[in-house]
Every structure is written in structure tokens, then in C-alpha cells.
Amino acid sequence: MTGDIVALSDQHAAEVIELWEAAGLTRPWNPAADDYTRAVEGPTSDVLGVHDGGVLVGTVMVGHDGHRGWVYYLAVRDSHRGAGMGKALMRAAEEWLRLRGGVKLQLMVRTENRVVHDFYRAIGYEPQDVTVLGRRLDDA
């Protein structure tokens, strides 16, 4: 039976990383375990997750930077897609932000992952007229 969407903790790290890898979300230059620990232990972020029969079937990382809320690592296990779980996780992330006073939730989609644009549009997210710039501060 599918459980509630709840904030995950350090003890869930291994199953979370396994799901992120299965969903194709990890990249060698972003150590997923480090990303998870920072999000779970930091004061302005959480990783929300949902289990079904003891198996982790969905996650979303949500945080706020003092101005906007941001979502990362939205993943639904293959076996559970197309049943509203991705939408439910995004709604839970929105509620998380709303409770902390945030009024806008944003996310970035990798260019090669255009296939999820229709999912985000279906749940009310629209492309923004911005260009994201970035610079690494490590040697990766």
C-alpha cells in the first residue's frame, strides 16, 4: 500500500540514491550521496519521499534560498509512473514551500530531458524567460 509523502532522513540515503540512479538523475560531477546529505541536514531543505510496501517509489528534493523555492531530483519509480505520483510529489513540494512563506517554486530541466516538459506543463509549470548561468567552485 502506498504510504504518505514524508520528509526522509539520513537512514534513507541508500534507497534514495538507488532510485535516483534508476530514474537516470545522477551525474558523476554531482555526487548524489553528498547532495542528499546536504539537503536532509540543511535548515532550508528537505527530501520528500513515498514508499509502497516498504519500497521507495518516489522522491522530490525541495528547498528555498530566501527568495524562491527550488525543486531537484523529482523521481518516480518506473513501475509507479502514470498514476499521479509525480504530480502528488510536486504538490507536496509546493505545500512545503507555502508553509515557509514561499510564493514561487522553480526547477531546471536538463536540455536532453525535454520529454518531461509535457509533464510539468500538465501540472501547471511554464517555461520562464530566463537563462540560467553557472560556475563551478570546485575542480569537477
**Could you list the residues that contact ligand COA (CB under 6 A)?**
23, 25, 74-76, 81-87, 109, 113, 115-116, 118-119, 122-123
Q: How far is the CB of 136 from ligand COA (least distance, A)?
A: 20
CB of 10 or CB of 132, closer to ligand COA: 132
Nearest in space to 102 (alpha carbons), one of 42, 60, 45: 45
CA–CA dist 97, 64 (Å, integer): 7
Task: Provide the minimum distance between the beta carbon of 120 and ligand COA in the complex, in angstroms, as a whole number.
Answer: 8
In the complex with ligand COA, the residue whose CB is nearer, 7 or 23, is 23
Alpha-carbon Rg for the chain, nearest whole angstrom, is: 15
CB of 85 to ligand COA, least distance (A): 4
12 CB-side CA count, 13 A: 23
